[in-house]
Amino acid sequence: MSDAVQTIEEGALAHRTETGQFDALNTQIERSPVSAIWTNGLLAAGAWALAAIVTLALPDVIPWGGTRLFAILVGVGAALLAMLSVSVHHLGAAGRTLIHYGPWFIALGLWFTFWELSTAKLGWLPKPFFSPPQGLLNVYVVDWQRLLLCILYTLRLWAIGFGSGVVIGYVIGIGLGWSKRFSYWGMPVLKLIGPVPATAWIPCTFFFFPTTFAASCFIVALASGIPVAILTASGVGSVNRAYYDVGRILGAKNWYLIRQIAIPASLPHVFVGLFMGLYYSFAVLVVAEMLGAKYGLGWYIQFQTAYSAYANVYAALLIMAFLCASIVRLLFFSRDRLLGWQKGFI
């Protein structure tokens, strides 16, 4: 019996030893430099380096400004990606974000290479209708002062138009969702105006507004306010009536019910309307800035199109896309902060 027990103990000891050695080997492998390398980072560095080499090594079909600067910037990006490939795991949350977007870095480097080959190097997409990446970069370097001024003018017009449209649309939406009488008269009018593009009201704006800037603000406000009004009314109208009944039993007045029940419950719908209104406002922003504006990205696009300077047009469009994406990101952040209490309920 004792021999059997001793045999079992020796077998268990040997198993624990082998298991410990195996775990130690796994830990060593996990900590080894090979496993710490960010593979997508290395591939992205190679793709960006390829774009830099193609930009410098191959001759341009037509001379473009900014070729050397673009190659230097892409080469620096390749070097940074190469360094990050061995250090990204030590950057915490920022490193995890970079790892998440690793395939996009690869795709961007390949896109730079294809874009460079198809325009500046091989001429498959001819000038002036298509511009290589260094053409856009040259626009930012040469014309940055006027672009900056146009950005400020565009943001001013958009902020006034979008802000006023959201406020008015939100108030109207609460009234439509709360009052049956107001909804009876107001909802058909809103449904009649809503499908009509905001730009179709341009002839009327010249009659009702004294300046072209005020008319432009109205066009942007109309495009952004209608979806906010409709979705706010939907949010207020979808609140469970039992909540109102309980509030009235406890002595709450109508203003208290609106402020404490209707408005918080309608916020998810309101943010959907804000997102829709944001995209609609940027869609009409270019047209709104064509109404006699002296500056602005919409004016800049129209002005450069008249001279067939399509590189400038594409540069302005990229700026508008970046501005819109940044504001969308800000709206997402605001929504998560304001609606954090609703997690788990909606």
Closest by alpha carbon to 318, among 131, 183, 44, 153?
131
Paired tokens of 64: 């473009």
Closest by alpha carbon to 222, among 202, 206, 207, 203?
202
Encode pLDDT of 248-266 as tens digits.
787 777 787 778 888 887 8
Residue ranges matching CATH 1.10.3720.10 in the chain: 144-339
pLDDT of residue 294: 79
Tell me if residue 68 falls in helix, strand or coil.
Answer: helix
Encode pLDDT of 180-213 as tens digits.
888 888 888 888 888 888 888 887 887 788 888 8
- Residue 3's pLDDT band (boundaries 50, 70, 90)? very low
- Residue 343's pLDDT band (boundaries 50, 70, 90)? low
pLDDT of residue 229: 92
pLDDT of residue 327: 92
What is the C-alpha to C-alpha distance for residues 24 and 65, in angstroms, rounded to an integer? 57
Encode pLDDT of 7-61 as tens digits.
444 554 444 444 444 444 344 434 444 447 899 999 999 999 999 999 999 998 8
Q: Give the helix ranges, DSSP H, for the chain.
A: 2-30, 39-57, 67-87, 93-100, 102-116, 133-142, 144-178, 180-193, 202-208, 212-237, 241-249, 254-257, 263-288, 297-306, 310-338
Paired tokens of 338: 């304001």
Superfamily of domain 144-339, CATH level 4: MetI-like (1.10.3720.10)
How confident is the model over 122-137, as a mean pLDDT? 88
Highest mean pLDDT range out of 102-106, 243-247, 331-335?
102-106
Provide, rounded to the nearest whole percent, the portion of the chain with pLDDT above 70. Answer: 88
pLDDT of residue 184: 87
Paired tokens of 124: 């498959």
Encode pLDDT of 264-277 as tens digits.
878 888 888 899 99
pLDDT of residue 189: 87
pLDDT of residue 29: 36
CB atoms within 10 A of CB 159: 13
Q: State whether the Cα torsion 65-71-76-78 is positive or negative.
A: positive
Cβ atoms of 327 and 155 within 8 Å: the answer is no
pLDDT of residue 137: 93
pLDDT of residue 33: 45
Provide, rounded to the nearest whole percent, the portion of the chain with pLDDT above 90. Answer: 38
Rounded CA Rg of the chain: 30
